Structure 1
């Protein structure tokens, strides 16, 4: 039986008073979920209960101390919700000083042709909030232009997507399967062609060196992220962040596949950590890649060798300056899909941020959320 249509209108008595940008509440959730499904899942997509519950948990539930930085909706003169901006507040450290970083994402408007300024109104209201730093790692071309217009800084070295081909035929099929999942069933047919490609092309198995790896539990992930991010100018306060809940959410990415978290060892010393999602024989979506000082090349090589040994077609992930330098010599390709952007009204903060390494992508940012990579059936 078809699900009933979700109304996007508010009661007439409150419509006029609520027009414009207002904090998102539970009353707005059906409209927001329906808009999300249409915008990011396709015009005919339906907002399932699990999608609505996830949006509520990610963007409405927050500590009382952060209630002054809400998610936002835009309501038109008739009382209908026609825009949304999801906001999450995270505890960070800037040169050892506690700061609040507000990440915004899922910026959408139901009728941008009718009112092309909805996105700008939402973003402007968000940037006027009391957070110390405003950021996003999922800004598309439209959002990026809005950020730039509103004096946000685009971080190019954190905004590229890298790809490493391991099995070229399977890799091409995995890319096509992202748009048409039914194609993923053909993966077994690619094996003989990839075996031939290894003999006649530059697709020999990557070499890992003398390192080993083992499964990482949540406590180990937290300890290593704390250790490997030491020295960064801007990084999460891992002790204050609910990393366990974030990792639990990160495991729900059915379209990407099961999550693998591995510690890389040199002898008895942990030198690195990687976390990715992948389907058997498919593409690894790398969520996190961290290493001890001077060990990133060895960790990257081990990740590539591990993925190849697992039969994966290739890998993809987000760059950062130190990682970009390593990947340039390892047959990687680069493209741009979304930008990492941030800003602060405090010029001294921005100067400090620009002065050194920052940790704002992956588990620190937004890409761990199940809204990216889950199917919500």
Structure 2
């Protein structure tokens, strides 16, 4: 009797437990999945505020009937040229023993791309996933894939990076701090920040509600932008509240003389660690002031460095502030709509951070 063939099908609630176990083996330490992780998967891929039965996540089921692959799908509503469109973000793609199932990843991506969405996007593709996308004819988008890093304390930055690979490296933190002190005493300006002119708007720490108001006011400046309202953006911000890998969340907004928000940014950080930017938006004339506040606030808080995903509108300012650029995660997009394609290729699309998929607690939470 012939064995049943492997298949790709939509995710259902009974798949959450095996997907959680696969997540632990793929992205974490392989320990048994916690109930918190399973709950996060349900929230992200089933209870999403824009959940759409036509845009499900998918699992790969092998010949033995076991779930051994997964691609998460986050539906999104966006607007371009006055019309609302459907977007879908590919998230948390994983395949168990990919060498034994070399076509599983490609089949999952094809299932994702075959949906009715107007544009398909992956905001956090790693090198393996990017290779699968390229085989299907879709390459990375350079402007959005230029991840950046601004170092303040090189010794502590090096130890923090090493600690992510070898946890025992945390024992070396005092040596990183000592190296930073020596560098500071030497008068080196390679990692120092220029003093802001003081002519920019004043930033203030805010709560989720004020941040949401600012982001909703600033997003429409982009030709391709998310359709946010208080309920949906509030849900995304609540999901993004805790990311234990990255530290405490910081929300900052600046207002103009008329009381309207002119810039906003949100990042995670802890003293001695590398801060991570979730979202940053500003009016064109306030971009540099926002970058200055973001860098200085993180440095003053004791962070070793700060990093973020590629945001084309920030690149010129970050270059002038001595940021380094590297390929760490990649943005890929597929669409047949010429207007959408032009907005993305020209770097005029708000498709990352809270507008994408990195609000998810699956990115940055440990679930222990």
What is the TM-score of this pair, normalised by structure 1? 0.89
CA distance 1:356–1:275, shift in 2 (3 Å): closer
Matches within 5 A, 1:229-308: 229-239=219-229, 242-265=232-255, 270-308=261-299
Q: 1:139, 1:365 → 2: CA distance?
A: 12
Offset of residue 57 of structure 1: 1.4
Q: Using the alignment, how far apart are the partners of 2:124 and 2:320 within structure 1? A: 27
Matches within 5 A, 1:60-75: 60-62=46-48, 66-75=52-61
CA distance in 1, matches of 2:48, 2:242: 20
Task: Return 356-365 or 215-224, whichever deviates more.
Answer: 215-224
Change (3 A) 1:177 1:28: same
For 1:193-208, list aligned pairs within 5 A.
193-200=179-186, 201-202=188-189, 203-208=191-196
State whether structure 2 residue 114 is matched by structure 1 residue 122. Answer: no
Partner of 1:345: 336
CA offsets 1:189-245 (integer angstroms, 9 cap, x no match): 544432331242223344233243211222222222222222312110112761111
Which residues in structure 2 correspond to 1:1-377 (within 5 Å)?
16=4, 19-42=6-29, 44-62=30-48, 66-184=52-170, 186-187=172-173, 190-200=176-186, 201-202=188-189, 203-210=191-198, 211-239=201-229, 242-265=232-255, 270-351=261-342, 353-354=344-345, 357-377=348-368
Provide structure 1 residue ranges, at least 5 long, that are not aligned to the other structure. Answer: 1-14
1:32 deviation in Å?
0.9
Q: Which structure 2 residue ranges, 5 or more long, are not aligned? A: none
Tell me if structure 2 keeps the 8 A contact 1:307–1:314.
Answer: yes
Q: Deviations over 1:328-348 (max 9, x none)?
A: 111111111111111113345
Q: Is the 8 A contact 1:257 1:278 kept in 2?
A: yes
Count of aligned residue pairs for this structure pair: 361
Query: Which whole-Å CA distance do the structure 2 matches of 1:352 and 1:302 have between them?
Result: 28
Q: TM-score, normalised by structure 2?
A: 0.91
> How far has the Cα of 1:127 moved from its partner?
0.4
Give the CA deviation at 1:51: 0.8
Range with greater deviation from structure 2 (55-64 or 167-176) = 55-64
Point out the more displaced range, 62-71 or 123-132.
62-71
Aligned CA distance change for structure 1 residues 275 and 63 (closer, same or farther; 3 Å): closer
Q: 1:373 to 1:353 in 2, by over 3 A?
A: closer
The 1-side partners of 2:280 and 2:221 are apart by: 16
**Post-superposition offset of 1:126:** 1.0
Distance in structure 2 (CA, Å) of the matches to 1:37 and 1:357: 36
CA RMSD of aligned residues (A): 2.2
Alignment partners' CA distance in 1, 2:232 and 2:294: 26
Kindly indicate whether the alpha-carbon contact (under 8 Å) linking 2:143 and 2:347 is maintained by their aligned counterparts in 1: no
CA distance in 1 between counterparts of 2:243 and 2:264 reads 20
Q: 1:261: Cα distance to partner? A: 0.6
Show CA shifts across 1:86-130 (max 9, x none). Answer: 011011112221111110111111121112000000111110111
Q: Secondary structure at the match of 1:223?
A: helix
Give distance in 2, aligned partners of 1:208 and 1:54.
41
CA contact (8 A) 1:233 1:353 kept: no
Q: Which is further off, 315-324 or 195-204?
A: 195-204
> For 1:171, what is the secondary structure of its paired residue?
helix
Structure-2 change in CA distance of 1:264 and 1:376 (3 Å): same
Deviation of the 1:46 alpha carbon? 2.0
Provide Cα deviations, 1:307-342, integer angstroms capped at 9, x if missing partner: 121121110111222211111111111111111111
